[in-house]
Amino acid sequence: MEQFDKDYAPVQWQTVHGKIRQLLKMTLLAAHIKHPEMHSDHSRAVYGVDIMIDEDDFEPKLLEFTFSPDCIRACKFYPSFYNEIF
């Protein structure tokens, strides 16, 4: 985060991160509106998301949203990955 702020000043990572969070929130909200029957208070899911940040205006672009991501790398570097996310 500090390196991003240094490399791309005056753009700040906190601003870009906020835009990414809003993009994901709106995507999930749209899915919920389209398919409300898929909601359950008793279930959890892991999604894989690919996002590109446009270097011209630093706007995030959603490339892919998958239901069954490959978490092998996450588990390799963070052995407690699944325990922590659930």
For the stretch 31-45, pLDDT in tens is 999 998 888 888 878
Residue 12: domain span: 2-85
pLDDT of residue 39: 82
Q: What is the mean pLDDT of residues 39-53?
A: 88
pTM: 0.80
How far apart (Å, rounded) are the C-alpha atoms in residues 84 and 86?
A: 6
Q: Is there a contact between 47 and 39 (Cβ–Cβ < 8 Å)?
A: no
Provide the number of structural domains found in the chain: 1
Residues 6+ apart with CB under 8 A from 48: 64, 65, 66, 67, 68, 69, 70
pLDDT of residue 10: 95
